[in-house]
Amino acid sequence: MASQNINWSAFTKKYPDKLVAALRGHIARGPFRITAHRLAIEANVADASATDLLRELVQNGFLKSDKKLICPCERMESLTAEQAAEDVCAFCGRAFEIDVPARPVELIEFVHAAKQTRDVRWLLALHGMNTQGAWQETFNWLVSRTYRRSVPVAIYKYGVVRPGAIVKFRQRALVRELTGRIRRLSGQSEETGFGGTPDVIAHSLGTWLLGHALVEDATLRVGRVILLGCILRPDFDWELLLRRKQVESVLCHVATSDFWAGIAHYFIPDSGPSGRSGFNDRNNVGHVALVGKHHSDFFKEAEMPTLFERVWQPFLTQAAGESMPASNVLPVRSWRQTWWPLRATVMRWLLLAAIGGFVLVILLGLSLGLADLWRLI
Amino acid sequence: MINANVADSTKDRAAARALVKSIVLAQGNIFIRELLRRKKITIGVRKQEFETNLLQAINSGDLRLADVVEWLEEVEGWGDQHIYLYHLKDELARNPLWSSAASVQQSLPRSQQNLWDADSLVFPEEWSLTGISYNDGSLRYVWHERLKTLLRRLGMDRRDRIDGDWYQFRAYLERPDRAVMRFVLRPAKQLAAIFMQIPAEGNAHESAHSMVRDATKPLIDWKQLADFSASDVIKNLDQAVLDSQARTNVRSKKMRLTDADNYVEFANTSQEGDLAESEAIRSVRRAVKPEEFAGNVGVFLYEGRTPTQQKRTVKIEIFGEQRRIKIWAQLKANEVWSILELLTNYEQWPAKT
């Protein structure tokens, strides 16, 4: 029962704000058992208010009440109905109302039977090809402030690799480097008690490198994965990685006007526009859409804190087995590769040739210009 | 040991009846029900009904002394006790002495020979070694002491005026019972343990330890027994529960970590809850570096099963400084050993899972 299904504003009209806020916090943080008295103490309100609010949530089906019978002695052992009907406590051996001053006491606990939320242990941030990933530092700062405890963020930088992104041997080298780095960091984090597998937030070429590193090395493991401006093929086989337990779960955060994700397929081998239109697999991959936004808009100062709080953080901490986010603005589609000559086959060589030609022209221009300049001098 | 094929004589029936009225009824209801169920005897709900049905079964020959003794060996003195666990060093574990029961028996001093496979249906006034055996790869020493279990009987309370003052008398029925202490050594598992049904008060446990060491000295070189690292188990088991490794059948209820004379404690106060439920508590717990602390006390809930396969939660308390384990519910011998083996898996980190 998710906290967001409860109409909290209706409760704030009837009950003290502090009481509603306290209970809302408990429900948001997962399972708990609480007595009305304990909640009342926490919120510094009357027991009756806490009892009424909790009972109302029981009536609405958000909580359950669990009646217990407790021996009134100091040990306060929980008794079965059969034991409570006896004259003597089955645990302390003392007679009710004679050796101890009362019959078994009824205690009502209110139970939120939710699944336990998940803890984020450490994170790996992978940047894209066009930048040095300044957003990673901002993200690190955001994480540090959110959890208060130590949640290390490993920032992996491989530099600006614009031409390297379209050359296979360079791609392979980058994948190998990333695999090695994840292994080293996992070993170090395991040794220091943070747990072995990182949750990963990856952008652009970082998504491509992560996906391919996982496919190529079946022993490589990560936790939950957030993909931003993703350039993996929309038919990428996440199901295989989930089945091999290499990945816990995947969230693809789409920007519907992402130009670079849209054209990646034509220049970067084995890539596709998943960052613009999502993955074909909507059962295993969660999708959230940032409508009308572009490739790197996730990292804008006005966007990232909100996205982190409302989308990424809930995804990372939601209980295992909870339903994945699903976007209702992204059409479900079955993406296929484009016509062979238009893929990153001929096109990337044309692009390289164009870049080469451009560089040659510049160099020629410079050298001819320099020759003229020499003559003038 | 009683031979199961011994004729069901009148003497045996009398002995079985005596056992039922004392030791048998002192065992937990779920175990008595199991005995009744196993022998296809009408069960009943309360102890009085169990007693009636058991006595009837003995009279009719459906329940024999050998059945009762065999059942008692499984349940009497297992669980609801303190345990001191040890690891056998290789030299002791590989001692050729353990190759056969005969070689073990031959190594016993003359003063203990009469206790070999002895019938232990006695109620000695003081702790006494009542039996030594070696079977199923386990060396067992058993001690007994007579106990008087007091059962509150309201109907016998009275209030009298004596010399002008009013006095209240609370009545308790004395039921003969006995406490059990065991030393068990399992060379193949390289484990040994002392099981004590003795409250941890004063120097009672030290005295019991001395008694065990003295009695076992002819066979056991105690220098070959290494202490169980209870402090590490507290930390590692809690960590494993936190990391969801041990969550299938163990939950963490309380943990106290000490740093010299300072401590930090994590606890859950409800009957069924556990520490890991609370995101806020987990967040604080994760900020703690266990390697900087000693595990002082750990309370864990172990998910056991009743003989009818119903869930049964058993509280296990581990005391780091005393290297002591307390199991808070009666169990069967095999369940106690399962718990001990589980705990030994968490002496190192990462655990041997």
What's the average model confidence in pLDDT over A96-103? 90
Cβ neighbours of residue A155 closer than 8 Å, sequence gap 6 or more: A125, A133, A136, A137, A140
Quote the pLDDT of residue A163.
62
Cβ contact B327:B81 at 8 Å? yes
- Of the given ranges (A223-227, A362-366, B130-134, B252-256), which has the lowest mean pLDDT? A362-366
Residue A4 has pLDDT above 60, yes or no: no
| Residues of B in Cβ contact (< 8 Å) with A117 | 279
What's the average model confidence in pLDDT over A61-70? 93
Pick left, alpha or beta for residue A108 (phi over 0 → left; psi -120 to 50 → alpha; otherwise beta). beta
What distance in Å separates the CA atoms of residue B121 and residue B16, rounded to the nearest whole number? 10
In this prediction, what percent of chain B has a pLDDT beyond 90? 52
The reply to whether A149 touches chain B by the CB within 8 Å rule is yes
String of DSSP letters for A9-37: HHHHHHS-HHHHHHHHHHHHT--EEE-HH
Other Cβ atoms less than 10 A from the Cβ of A183: the count is 15
Residue from B87, B86, B88, B84 nearest B318 by CA: B84
- Of the given ranges (A204-213, A367-376, B237-246), which has the lowest mean pLDDT? A367-376
Domain boundaries, chain A: 3-112, 123-346
Among chain B residues, CA nearest to A192: B289
Other Cβ atoms less than 10 A from the Cβ of B273: the count is 19
What's the average model confidence in pLDDT over A333-353? 73
What's the average model confidence in pLDDT over B271-284? 86
What distance in Å separates the CA atoms of residue B142 and residue B128, rounded to the nearest whole number? 8
- Which residues of B lie closer than 8 Å to A, measured between beta carbons? 45, 150-152, 154, 157, 170, 239, 243, 270-273, 276-280, 282-284, 286-287, 289-291
What's the average model confidence in pLDDT over A290-299? 91
Quote the pLDDT of residue B89.
96
B205/A159: higher pLDDT: B205
Contact B271 A78 (CB under 8 A): yes
Q: How many helices (H) and strands (E) does chain B have?
A: 12, 13
The CATH architecture one would assign to domain A123-346 is 3-Layer(aba) Sandwich (3.40)
| Residues of A in Cβ contact (< 8 Å) with B280 | 29
- Of the given ranges (A16-30, A242-256, A275-289, B277-291), which has the lowest mean pLDDT? B277-291
Among chain A residues, CA nearest to B236: A193
B20: pLDDT confidence band, cut at 50, 70 and 90?
Answer: confident
Across chain B, what does the average pLDDT equal?
89
Among chain A residues, CA nearest to B28: A90
Half-sphere exposure of A203 (CA within 13 A, CB side): 26
Cβ contact B280:B234 at 8 Å? no
CATH 1.10.10 fits A3-112, yes or no: yes
| Residues of A in Cβ contact (< 8 Å) with B272 | 33
What end-to-end distance do the CA atoms of chain B give, in Å?
A: 37
Contact A31 B277 (CB under 8 A): yes
pLDDT tens for A125-138 read 988 776 666 788 88
Quote the pLDDT of residue B67.
87
Among chain B residues, CA nearest to A35: B270
- Of the given ranges (A39-43, A282-286, A343-347, B197-201), which has the lowest mean pLDDT? A343-347
pLDDT tens for B95-110 read 999 999 999 999 999 9
d(CA A325, nearest CA chain B) in Å = 21
What distance in Å separates the CA atoms of residue A252 and residue A270, rounded to the nearest whole number? 18
| Residues of B in Cβ contact (< 8 Å) with A116 | 276-277, 279
d(CA B105, nearest CA chain A) in Å = 42
d(CA A10, nearest CA chain B) in Å = 26
- Of the given ranges (A190-194, A276-280, B66-70), which has the lowest mean pLDDT? A190-194
Residue B25 has pLDDT above 90, yes or no: no
Q: Look up the ipTM and state it.
A: 0.70
Omega cis (within 30) before A341:
no
Give yes or no on whether A3-112 and A123-346 have one common fold. Answer: no
| Residues of B in Cβ contact (< 8 Å) with A88 | 151-152, 154
| Residues of B in Cβ contact (< 8 Å) with A31 | 277
pLDDT tens for B156-186 read 999 999 999 999 999 998 888 888 999 999 9
Contact B287 A149 (CB under 8 A): yes
Contact A99 B157 (CB under 8 A): no
A232/A114: higher pLDDT: A232
Cβ neighbours of residue A186 closer than 8 Å, sequence gap 6 or more: A196, A197, A198, A221
Quote the pLDDT of residue B1.
45
- Per residue, what are the HEC states of A261-298? HHHHHHHCCCECCHHHHCCCCCCCEEEEEECCCCCCHH
| Whole-angstrom Cα Rg for chain A | 29
Q: Is B261 helix (H, G, I), strand (E, B) or coil?
A: coil
What distance in Å separates the CA atoms of residue A312 and residue A251, rounded to the nearest whole number? 8
What's the average model confidence in pLDDT over B3-21? 71
What distance in Å separates the CA atoms of residue A41 and residue A35, rounded to the nearest whole number? 10
Find the largest Cα–Cα distance for chain B: 74
Per-residue exposure over B19-33, b if at least 16 CB sit within 10 Å of its own CB, e if not: bbebbbbbbebebbb
Q: Pick B270's closest partner by Cβ from A33, A93, A149.
A: A33
Identify the residue among B286, B289, B291, B301 best suited for mutation to test binding to A, counting A beta carbons within 10 A and taking the highest.
B286
Tell me the two tokens of residue B19.
């056992």
